[in-house]
Structure formats: structure tokens, C-alpha cells
Amino acid sequence: MTKFTDLGLAEVLLRALTHEGYDLPTPIQAKAIPPLLQGRDLLGIAQTGTGKTAAFALPIIHRMLGAPRAATPKQPRALVLAPTRELAAQIAESFRAYGRFARTSVAVVVGGVSMGPQIQALARGVDVLVATPGRLLDLMQQGRVQLGGTEVVVLDEADHMLDLGFIIPIRQIVAKLPKTRQSLFFSATMPKEIASLAGDMLNSPVEVTVAPVATTAERVNQSVILCDAASKRQLVVELCSDPAFRRTIVFTRTKRGADKVAAHLEASGVSSCAIHGNKSQNQRTRALENFKSGRMRVLVATDIAARGIDVDSVTHVVNYELPEVPEAYVHRIGRTARAGAEGAAVSLCDNSERSLLRAIEKLTRQSIPATERRSNPGAAVEADAGADQPRRRQQQQHRPARNGGGAGAGRDFAPRDRNARPADRNGKPQQPAAAKRDARPQGAKPAQGRPQRRDDRGPARAPAR
């Protein structure tokens, strides 16, 4: 079994790992650290919670120890790009922990807070700069940071960068980096845009794949509660009031929904706080600290925080609403069962979300056990089964007749009989006008004025003069 001592890391790093209580590397650490120590570029495909931060932080600090030099003002030696403020802060915290005996200087550059302290830290010079793309680009345009001397660049959670619209800023940042550098690229999925970006950034990279893209954490006990939409509030209080739910993250789709759920839990006696993009950085930091310290049992979050929350001992994840993108489900439930621990994920699914549940099960290739809590399950099943009927009728209306292809397929082009009369609604041939006149009773007079319409009520009105 591989140990950190077998990977060739510097003694001060091994000492820091012992201080943190780490002895055995995770699979991605065991596979990534040796080629990174050799200076190779790396393409890592791994889901969140697999230990990626240590996989790139340890080799970067080891590299700097091998070629020590004083930090240059405005010019970081290593740059780590992260999609969210929370993830950037946690990466910086990990660098400080692993480099505690190496005296590695670290700075964080993110939006939502004042630029002043960040500018001062850059002016002093830092070894490692962890940044979100938007704020970094702003500081680069102001001349506060220069990347000409950067030796290593790391792009973490690249597919989440794509979701947040950061691809163009990232390309602008990468264009300012020196061509001779070591590049590390980590992503849980590999859509076309991300694959193209990786191809432009990396030079003959080592590829490390730890887990399939849609693999959920093995130690997560997953379950679904089929419920009515109106009963979700009661159910989330019922779940979070259970003493077993010691540290729980509840996920919602919207920021407003997160605030509402957190307020409802608080009103029901469950200590909770919300975290999302509309919160200031200070509010988000305070919410995370309260959650980590145990002052708050429940953290209500949106998907933007799904990959940015790295809190130990999260016992449960509750999906108050299922995500519209099935991959987000994997990242949500990955907040629990970390570092070898076990956890549970409970999803509340109303009738309108059944298609989202099917998409998640198809992606993860598993059937999630369900508990029935709907008020009228029979009617709900019929409604769910009939949801596809309009689509089927529409497909049938647009489906061509099976009488051959080509132009006019589905039509009847048989010669028309000029003596044939069109049929009425009962299928009988209509009589010619002369025959209708002849069939009129004796003495009957033609109707005067406007003829009475079929759907009129009462006697016909005389035409207006």
C-alpha cells in the first residue's frame, strides 16, 4: 500500500501531513504526485471530494523548496484558478496547512470584498496566488498583478468554470502566462469547450482518471421521498429535527428559495443559515464558520456552493429540490461521506420532478430507493404516466403515412371522379342544390335575410336597417 513517505516529498511536507493526521494518499494523490514532481503537465478527471487539492498543492510547494527564491512583488510563482470564493479560500487554507513548515506565502484574490488588502498582499509578493477569474482579470488590467514569472498554473473545477461563464476570462488570463510553465488541469466532466481549453493549455500531459464522471460517492446512502410539493417544508423540518442529522447541507435551486427554507427551519427551532451568490463575502464566510463550528446544524445552499463547500463530518445532504442538471446531483451529495467517512443523501421529489429523478438515475446508472409520502399516490402515478401523452399525439400528427417516401408521401393521388359528390358528416353523399330545392316541402318559402346560425339562441334577428 502506497504511503506519502513513498512519493518522494520533502521532509517538511511529510511533517505537515503528519501534523494534519494524513498517512495514506488518496488514489488521485498517489497517481498525480509522482509525475508532477517530475515537472509533467497533468490532466486529472476526478469528482469532487477525491483529494485533488493535496494532489497539486504538495508538488507545487515541493518544487518551490527545490528552487527557493524571494517572492517578487506582483509576480506570484504559482497561480491557482478556482470557480467560487469558498473554494478559493479553502484551497488557500490547504496550501497554508501543507506549507506550515516551509513558510510558503499564500494570497487569495476574489470578488465581493475590498481590493485594498489584496493589492497590499500582492505588492509584498507571494509564492502562491489563489484567485477567481473575474477579480484576477480586474487586477491584471490595473497592473496590480503580473504573470510573466509564474512557473505553475492550476485550473481547478474546470467544468464548473464553464457553467459560470468563465471560459473567456480564463483564456485571457492564460494568454498572459509564459509559454514555458507547468500546467495542471482538473475537471469532473469533459465537455467539448473544456476539452478544447485543456488542449490549448497542456503540453503532452499525463492523464489521471480516478472515478467515472457520473459515479456517486460509494459511502453515501441515497434515498428519495416521493411527496407533494406543498409538504416539502414540513418534511425538511422533520428530517433536520432528527438528532442523527447532526451536520446537514440542504440544497435548493434558487437563492430566494434558500433564504425561505433557512428562515422556515429557524422558525421551527432548527438552527440554520443560508449561503448563495447574493450574500456578501463576509456573510458567506460567517455562515461557513458557524456551520463548521457547530453553532448552526443546517447550511442551506444553492448549486454554486456545491463544489465550494469542503466541511468535514457532514452527516447528511438533503435535496429540497432536485437539480435540473443531473451532474449537479453527484456534486451535491459529494459533500458528505468525505475522507473515508459515511453519509446519507435524502432527496425530496414531487410529481413535477419525476423526470429529473429519472435523468439522475440514468446518469448514475442506479435506481435510488424511494419512500412514498404523497397524499394520493394513485392519481400521481396516472398524472406522471400521462405526462408524455401530448408529446406522443404530437409525434403521431407529424408522422408520415406508410405508403412510400418522397414528395407527397401520405397523400392519396387517385384520379378524381367528377360525378362524385362530397360526403356529409354521416358519410352520405351530399345532394346537388337542385335536388335540395326539389326536396323542400310544398309551399315552403326561402328564408329571408341573414340565415340563422347553428349556435344562435332564440329567434333570428331581423337585419339592421
The Cβ of residue 410 has, within 10 Å, a number of other Cβ atoms equal to 11
Domains annotated on the chain, with CATH: 4-209 (3.40.50.300), 220-383 (3.40.50.300)
Residue whose grid cell is 509564459: 178
Give 3-state DSSP helix, strand, coil % of the chain, rounded to 5: 40, 15, 45
- What pLDDT, on a 0 to 100 scale, did the predictor assign at position 453? 43
- What pLDDT, on a 0 to 100 scale, did the predictor assign at position 277? 79
pLDDT digits (tens, 9 = 90+) for 165-217: 899 999 999 999 999 999 999 988 788 889 999 999 999 999 998 865 555 66
Contact 41, 184 (CB under 8 A): yes
Q: How far apart are CA 82 and CA 3, in angstroms?
A: 28
The Cβ of residue 458 has, within 10 Å, a number of other Cβ atoms equal to 6
| Residue 145 DSSP symbol | -
**In whole angstroms, what separates CA 327 from the centre of its chain?**
6
Contact 98, 57 (CB under 8 A): yes
DSSP codes, 181-246: SEEEEEES---HHHHHHHHHH-SSPEEEE-S-TTPPPTTEEEEEEE--GGGHHHHHHHHHTSTT-S
Quote the percentage of the chain above a pLDDT of 90. Answer: 58
Q: Which residues contact 302 (CB under 8 A, 6 or more apart)?
A: 251, 252, 253, 254, 255, 258, 275, 276, 277
Q: How far apart are CA 295 and CA 441, in angstroms?
A: 94
Locate 51 and state its grid cell. Answer: 483529494
Q: What one-letter code names the amino acid at 132?
A: T
Element (H, E) at 78: strand 78-81
Q: Which residues contact 61 (CB under 8 A, 6 or more apart)?
A: 10, 13, 95, 98, 99, 102, 104
- What pLDDT, on a 0 to 100 scale, did the predictor assign at position 107? 97
> Which stretches in the chain have pLDDT values below 70?
1, 48-49, 211-218, 305-308, 339-340, 379-465
Question: Which CA distances in Å does 152 have to 134, 145, 176, 217, 232?
Answer: 20, 15, 13, 30, 47
Question: Which CA distances in Å does 26 have to 3, 30, 37, 49, 59?
Answer: 9, 6, 17, 10, 15
The sheet with strand 152-155 has its strands ordered as 106-109, 128-131, 78-81, 152-155, 182-187, 42-45, 206-209
Q: What one-letter code names the amino acid at 368?
A: I
Q: Which residues pair with 371 in a beta bridge?
A: 225
Report H helices in 372-465.
377-385, 389-398, 433-438
- What pLDDT, on a 0 to 100 scale, did the predictor assign at position 214? 53
**Which of these, 125, 151, 132, 147, lies nearest to 41 by C-alpha position?**
151
- What pLDDT, on a 0 to 100 scale, did the predictor assign at position 459? 43
| Residue 340 DSSP symbol | T
